[in-house]
Amino acid sequence: MSTETLKKEYLAAIGRRKTATAVVRLYPSSKASFSLNGKDLKDYFKTESLQRIASEAFSTSKADGFYEVKATIKGGGSVSQAEALRHGISRALLLADSELRKKLKKAGFLKRDPRVKERRKFGLKKARKAPQWSKR
């Protein structure tokens, strides 16, 4: 690693959704770019909707083009990874400017969505689905 990369200051935060975790670093920059697990945003999230979800925190807070995003994302599916990234970016933006809290909170980007799949119980087919029961 070059010494120039080490000297740069950044804002760090962790975002989560279901089993996905995104460790986000925002570097102040004049050009907006995403590096997700070493890939560009368009290469990592193939669909337009996932790309929009991932960068939604910037458009809501009007901080487009001010930060370079470097993130490591693990676990979960593609949608929960995009939402975990959005959560991490939102948390990091708060460190830069606490005035954004009202906008980001209203949009629901600061709350870690706690919904996860319920575990399967013994004697049932799924979490709540029971085998067919007949009286006789």
Residue 65 lies in a domain: yes
Residue 136 lies in a domain: no
Count of structural domains within the chain: 1
Residue 39 lies in a domain: yes
Residue 123 lies in a domain: no
Residue pLDDT tens, the chain, 136 long: 445 545 568 999 999 999 999 999 999 988 888 999 999 999 999 999 999 999 999 889 888 778 999 999 999 999 999 999 999 999 999 998 889 999 999 999 999 999 999 999 999 999 999 999 999 8
Q: Which of 68, 71, 7 has the alpha carbon at shortest distance from 33?
A: 68
> The domain containing residue 91 runs over which residues?
3-107
What's this model's pTM, rounded to 2 decimal places? 0.86
Within 8 A by CB and 6+ apart from 123, the residues are 130
Residue 19 lies in a domain: yes
Residue 18 lies in a domain: yes
